[in-house]
Amino acid sequence: MQWTEVKIICDTVADETVLDRIADLFYDLGLHGVVIDDPHLQPDENWGPDAVMPPPHYAVSGYFPQNGEHDSNIDHLQEKLKTIKELHHFPTHLAFKSIDEKDWAESWKAFFKPIKVSHNIYVKPTWEDLASDPEDIVIEVDPGMAFGTGTHPTTVMCLQMLQKHLKPGHSLLDVGTGSGILLVAAAKLGAKTMLGIDSERLATRIAAANLARNGIAPDCVGVIQGHLVEGIGHRFDIIIANLLTEIIVGLLDHVQRVIKPAGIFICSGIYAGHQDRVLESMQARQMHLLETRELENWVCLAARP
């Protein structure tokens, strides 16, 4: 398949809020794996060796499949970008590049290095080596070009929340499973049964492949295509959802039906400053907030029904 890389290049020093707003344009169109370039960002101490050089400009990039929705999606992106530029008086210009899937799949790998998520959880790509101790939890991921690597702040916080709240023997539902990284982590943390659901067929294939790659037994985990929790007929100890704010708010209408009375709902994908919408919805449904985490302007919440 052919893809179009759309890079929105910032002509001045960028404010994080503006970059997040631009990235949100891609997410609203259903894209995953959006790349934000920051020339001043230094590699984290937990990254492996041979980290790539910083980019020359602030920029946000997304990848559109060249299908029947390609032109309308790019037109929609450009129209929404005009609003941001007018609102923030922020100059940008666009660069377009057609990419073959095979070429892209190889070139982007330079940007994905092993990362330490907690004191003993590591996320690493399948093509990188990592020296680890026997007690470490190492999650191997090959996300494919349509899904994130697991190093995004929202995923990192979800992994940290899982490590804190998931107990051996728990059941888990991962809503919007993507690459399946949270399912792999849950299994390695001792979950007994797990189910991942995603609206995209490609996600179910990638998640299943990553589960197999990490040696997760197929009899304890399933991955299905579906919308949020529609069609789910039983309850779980933990429900986790790394989605967008508005989707999480809508999901809260259905959480009570699929979570156990003493269960825990973990959600992220929430911009800092937008969490009040989620908190108000939780409060309206008499959910009890257990914990809030924030990392790089993103928020992760844990609550009980």
Look at residue 44 in the predicted model and tell me its pLDDT: 47
User: What single-letter DSSP state applies at residue 79?
Assistant: H
Q: Which of 117, 144, 95, 100 is nearest to 47 (CA)?
A: 117
CA dihedral 116, 122, 125, 131 (to 10 degrees): 90
Residue 111: strand, helix, or coil = helix
Burial (0-12, 13-18, 19+ Cβ within 10 Å), 192: middle
From residue 36, give the alpha-carbon distance in Å to each of 20, 80, 269: 9, 18, 15
Could you tell me the residue range of the domain that residue 85 belongs to?
2-107
Task: Give pLDDT tens digits for 129-173.
Answer: 888 898 999 999 876 655 556 678 899 999 999 999 999 999 999
Q: How many domains does the chain have?
A: 2
With respect to residue 141, please indicate whether it lies within any of the assigned structural domains: no
pLDDT at residue number 83: 86
> Domain boundary at 107, 136, 169, which?
107
Taking the C-alpha atoms of residue 247 and residue 66, their distance in angstroms, rounded to an integer, is: 26
24 within domain boundaries: yes
Residue 64 has pLDDT above 70, yes or no: yes
Kindly state whether residue 126 falls inside one of the protein's structural domains.
no
CB 6 within 8 A of CB 122: no
Residues 156 and 84 in one domain: no
- Place 17 in a pLDDT band, splitting at 50, 70 and 90: confident
CB 4 within 8 A of CB 74: yes
Contact by Cβ (8 Å): 204, 303? no
Instruction: Taking residues 2-25, report their average pLDDT.
Output: 82
Q: What is the mean pLDDT of the chain?
A: 87
Token pair of 141 as six digits: 């991921």
Q: How does residue 6 score in pLDDT terms, banded at 50, 70 and 90?
A: very high
301 and 291 Cβ atoms separated by less than 8 Å = yes
**CATH code at position 57:** 3.30.70.260
**Higher-pLDDT residue of 89, 160:** 160
The span from the CA of 275 to the CA of 120, in Å, is 29
Where residue 50 falls (left for φ over 0; alpha for ψ -120 to 50; beta otherwise) is left
pLDDT tens, position by position, 216-273: 999 999 999 999 999 999 999 999 999 989 899 999 999 999 999 999 999 999 988 8
- pLDDT tens string 135-144: 999 999 876 6
69 lies in the same domain as 203: no
246 inside domain: yes
76 with 210, same domain: the answer is: no
On the question of pLDDT at 89 being above 90, the answer is no
Predicted TM-score (pTM) of this structure: 0.71
- Check residues 263 and 14 and name the one with the higher pLDDT: 263
Q: Are 148 and 35 in contact (CB under 8 A)?
A: no
Burial letters 217-235, b for 16+ CB under 10 A, else e: eeeebebeeeebbeebeee
With bands split at pLDDT 50, 70 and 90, how would you rate the model's confidence at 42? low
**Domain limit, last residue, from 48, 81, 107:** 107
